Structure 1
Amino acid sequence: MLDRRQVLGGAAGGAAMIGAAGVAAGAEINPPDAPLHAGAADRAFSLDLLQRMAQPVLDRMARGRLRQEWTPEVSPTWDGRNLGVSYLEAFGRLLDGIAPWLALPDDGSPEGRLRARLRDQALSSLDHAVDPASPDYLTWQGEGQVLVDSAYLTSALLRAPDALWQPLSATTKQRLVAEMKALRQIDPPYTNWLLFAAMNEAFLFSIGEDWDPMRVTLSIRKFLEWYVGDGWYGDGSRFHFDYYNSYVIQPMLVQILSALATLGSGKARLNGLNLAEQHELTIRRAQRYCEHLERMIGPDGAYPAIGRSLTYRTAVHQPLGQLAWLGKLPDSLPAGQVRAATMAAQRRIFADPSNFNADGFLTIGFARHQPALGDIYSNAGSMYVASESLLAMGLPASAAYWTDQPLPWTMRRAYGGGDFRKDYYVDY
């Protein structure tokens, strides 16, 4: 069984279990008596969390048994939409968070063997997802929410094309493309939802399919207009003090612009937009936003519980993991500092075993099972966006992110009486 000792700050601290008994395959990954340096211990914790999120979903869906064996929990204020959307939410969001890790090369290590197994299950699950004859054929029509989670799925395919797209059969590829194009009938509201439509089109562009440049141009231009300064975007015409910059806006803008500027048979061209310049600007703004995210992690790993969708848990730190994975962390955020801060938050949030139910599925909550925190759209499938906090697992264990010594993060320094970097508004 995996050793889930909690070490606040990554290198030292008290012990606490993060959950109930681990999944069967976990025993071979991190023997509890194995001495680990801080980075290896952090990776082992993250790998355990990744497996605990992924295995209950992928093991069942790969066999066409997810719907049969799981009825997702819903919020007490559930708005009555078709619960079928929850399975696409769970699958698409989970896959997006673990895609960079699935794309790492195979090897004979315990982690490598786990990755090969979960990747095979993910590919089989993709077959079921678009096969109308499968019991796990996903809900692709009838709910606007489908546009949202189709975009997490196409984002996963963009993050790991060689691992998750190329190996698919021609039939599955054709079916996926057809489902994405059919979603053009959904008219997204003028909010972060514009990026979901743009993500699907960016994916279609990347594989050489017909794509709709206007959906992408509109989305990019609106967020240029909605930028409120100092690294933050409004969600629509108003500013919302919540974490949708983390859940959707910052990472999807970076990924869409990256895909258009670098992928496909040739760089995309959008009327009046210099994609290379916009991509660079978006990265710089994401870096500034990440400085804010890091500063909001307290000395004990706690961070502010603000705004909508709090039950998405550590998905709030997706931009930090994304920039680490892309090698784009700013000089102000050394890798050892980011890892220490975000791992402290992971350990703090997942300390309570009720974050997972008896069957291993994520529950609705923030730092434990707290269904009353759910919004009208919240179901247990929605919670799998928390896997987005695992993007740095896409870096190999030998990467500096995992081997650098942990450093005290900003609030740890500040409240420990140490020197720390002052903070000033930026004008880009």
Structure 2
Amino acid sequence: MKYVRWLACMASLFYAGIAQPVVAQQATALPVTIEQGNQDREYWTGLLYKIVSPVIHNLASGTLKKNMPLEKAPGYLLNAEQVTYLEAVGRTMAGVAPWLALPDDNTQEGKQRKELRLALLKGIANAVNPKNPDCLDFSKEQQPIVDAAFMAQGFLRAPQALWEPLDATTKSRIINNFKSLRNRAAYYNNWLLFSALTEAFLLRMGEDADPMRIDIALKKMEEWYLGDGWYSDGPHFAMDYYNSFVIQPMLADIYRTLAEVKKTGSTEYDLVLKRMQRYATFQERMIGVDGSFPPFGRSITYRTGAFQALAQVVLLGKYPEGLSPGQIRSAMTAMHRRMFDSCSNFNPNGWLLLGFCGAQPEVADTYTSTGSLYMTTLSFLPLGLPANDPFWISKSEDWTTKKAWQGQAFKKDYKVGY
């Protein structure tokens, strides 16, 4: 069984290396200058602003439920009207939070950030106000367990920007909504982390938290660690992107939060970071020479959210050994450009479409609707670094698959023992 898992991993990496080599050979290399990093950041900020604006501005206006289209996967199994809007809000918050946490400035980017931050603060208040048409219901269905956690992750990633400015009534409503989730059990897989993260957020805010929901999630994830940077999603391994969509980033955020409130030491946090760094080395190698990546596993309609783990090690400044800031930035920029410049992923009003590269509803899973798609924002976490951070000002470099397939020297890869 271990050999089968290894073979599946190698197959995915091989695909990433050979994806459209002719296109890569014909491409013109970008100039290796610091200015390129500034251009990359401008591209990232413009793209993220485009993705999140419909969600944030409509929520601020009380028109999210009115204006957001409701596209559902074939055979969709949930109550979309009950869950899709919370999905859009929670996932958008988790992805955009680090960027909105940066201080205001007079640049174009700074003006966009301030505009979105103020609108989101207004929107969060609307989302828990029973008198507002966009009030979100946390009390029904299983799915709110998931997206309350993404909301909580957004607050934990930007407490001074997104939590502290909220009025007391709004904070109380959010806390009560999160506590109301305790009457439902998470599924026996990565969902355990959703319950744990929401409880960790409550603990961080000085509220009574359920320690069992945190403890069982952390213990089970440790049992489900397979080695070499990979966790199983529950008792059985699945070759998909859930190590990045959920498992590794949420584990890191939970352990960091527990360390901040003195409920654990740094040893456990350091270990999950080392594992995430190792997993991030695989992620960098999954980005093909043209920026494409293999569309395997479920939830591929979350698009670039598949690279949240790589994005988070950058945000934390925990670069894997042998990977430079300029190399990862170049790889991730190519990945974003391949996904959003080459694919028609938006409808005429700027909402994301169901699909991977364009409108492909047939590849959506039975739990996927329009709101689900905003998981793609999770690949933009490095925007939480200031514009003068090494990630943005380092010279552009070729990434691993590009080096390998162009005959350049590149780092050999070996398993790790933790």
- 5 Å-filtered alignment, 1:1-400, equals 13=28, 37-262=35-260, 266-269=261-264, 275-352=265-342, 354-400=344-390
State the Cα distance separating 1:141 from its structure 2 match. 1.8
Deviation at 1:86, TM superposition (A): 0.5
Shift in Å at residue 80 of structure 1? Answer: 4.2
1:338: Cα distance to partner?
0.6
Q: Is the 8 A contact 1:348 1:367 kept in 2?
A: no
Question: Match of 1:210, as an amino acid?
Answer: D
Runs (4 or more) in structure 1 with deviation over 6 Å come to none
Change (3 A) 1:412 1:352: closer
Calculate the aligned-residue CA RMSD, in Å.
Answer: 1.6
Question: Residues 34 and 393 of structure 2 are in contact (CA less than 8 Å); yes or no, is this contact kept in structure 1?
Answer: no
* Larger proportion of helix: 2
Deviations 1:281-321 (A, max 9, x none): 00000000000111111111111111000111111111111
CA gap of 1:250–1:139, structure 2 versus 1, over 3 A, is same
The superposition leaves residues 140-170 of structure 1 with CA deviations (integer Å, 9 ceiling, x where unpaired) of 1211001000000000000000000000000
Residue 152 of structure 2 contacts residue 197 of structure 2 at CA under 8 Å; is this kept in 1?
Answer: yes
**Matched residue, 2:16:** none
Tell me the distance in 1 between the aligned counterparts of 2:210 and 2:85. 27
Q: Secondary structure at the match of 2:359?
A: coil
How many residues are aligned here?
392
Instruction: Check conservation: 2:249, 2:308, Cα contact below 8 A.
Output: yes
Q: TM-score of the superposition, structure 1-length normalised?
A: 0.89
8 Å Cα contact 2:301-2:355 kept in structure 1: yes
Helix, strand or coil at the partner of 2:344:
helix
Cα distance between partner residues in 2 of 1:227 and 1:331: 21
CA distance in structure 2 between the aligned counterparts of 1:352 and 1:72, rounded to whole angstroms: 24
Between the aligned residues of both structures, percent identity stands at: 45
Query: 1:72, CA displacement in angstroms?
Result: 2.1
Q: Give, in whole Å, the separation in 1 of the partners of 2:319 and 2:75.
A: 39
Q: Is the 8 A contact 1:92 1:156 kept in 2?
A: yes
Task: Quote the Cα distance in structure 2 between the aligned partners of 1:258 and 1:13.
Answer: 42
Does the Cα contact within 8 Å between 1:82 and 1:143 map onto a contact in 2? no
Distance in 2 separating the partners of 1:60 and 1:13: 40
1:367 and 1:40 map into 2 onto residues whose CA distance is 27
Partner Cα separation in structure 2 for residue 406 and residue 217 of structure 1: 42
Q: State TM-score, norm by structure 2.
A: 0.91
Deviation at 1:82, TM superposition (A): 3.7
Partners in 1 of 2:274 and 2:150 — Cα distance? 23
1:163 is matched by which residue type in structure 2?
A
Residue number in structure 1 paired with 2:403: 413
Please list the CA deviations of residues 68-127 of structure 1 after superposition, one character each: whole Å capped at 9, or x if unmatched: 122321112211424231001011101110100000001111111111110001101110
When residues 416 and 14 of structure 1 are mapped into structure 2, their CA distance, relative to the original with a 3 A threshold, is: closer
Q: Matched residues in 1 for 2:83 and 2:400: separation?
A: 40
The equivalent residue for 2:11 is none
Instruction: Tell me the SS of whatever aligns to 1:420.
Output: coil
User: What code does the residue aligned with 1:323 have?
Assistant: V
Unaligned runs of 5+ in 2: 1-22
- Give the deviation of 1:353 after TM superposition: 5.4
* Contact residue 69 and residue 351 of structure 2 kept, 8 A: no
Question: CA offset at residue 14 of structure 1?
Answer: 8.8
1:347-392 CA-partner distances (Å, limit 9, x unpaired): 1111245201111011111121111110000111101000000000
2:398 is the counterpart of 1:403:
no
Distance across 2 between alignment mates of 1:324 and 1:375: 30
Tell whether the 8 Å contact from 2:300 to 2:356 is kept in structure 1 after alignment. Answer: yes
Instruction: Tell me, yes or no, if the aligned pair for 2:80 and 2:369 is still in contact at 8 Å.
Output: no
Corresponding residue for 1:29?
none
